[in-house]
Amino acid sequence: MRLRTTLVSTASAVALVLTIAGTASAAEGEFSYRYTDAAGETRKAELIDPDNAPVCIEVPEVANTPDAHAFRPRNQTNVRAIGFKASGCVGTDSFELAAKVGRGSDKTLFRSVLFA
């Protein structure tokens, strides 16, 4: 009897873990932005279906350049986006963009973003 109870408990725990892991999904849609490359050219990039678990996403095109920022964000995902001027999604210099329709200007600078 104990073996059966143990097996049922173990199976239930595994099912719960798999269910919880499955709920940490990606936002649906595209988050696009502009950045200036090493040659001084303005380029467009996007994050497709970005992770919306509480995970900070560094903008890869500016991550290795200390004074560089992405700009002109467009949030076409199904969740709000919170952009941060600093790396690591920290600091008070931040902005929010609504889901599906959020837009920032060329003056909206950021290095990291969080989807919530």
pLDDT tens-place values along the chain, 116 residues long: 454 443 334 334 334 334 344 445 689 999 999 999 999 999 999 999 999 888 999 999 999 998 999 999 999 999 999 999 999 999 999 999 999 999 999 999 999 999 99
- Residue 14's Cβ-side half-sphere holds a number of Cα atoms within 13 Å equal to 6
**What is the model's pTM?**
0.77
Q: To the nearest 10°, report the CA torsion of 64, 69, 72, 78.
A: 60
Tell me, what's the pLDDT at 11? 39
Burial class of residue 92, CB neighbours in 10 A (0-12, 13-18, 19+): exposed
Identify the pLDDT of residue 24.
53
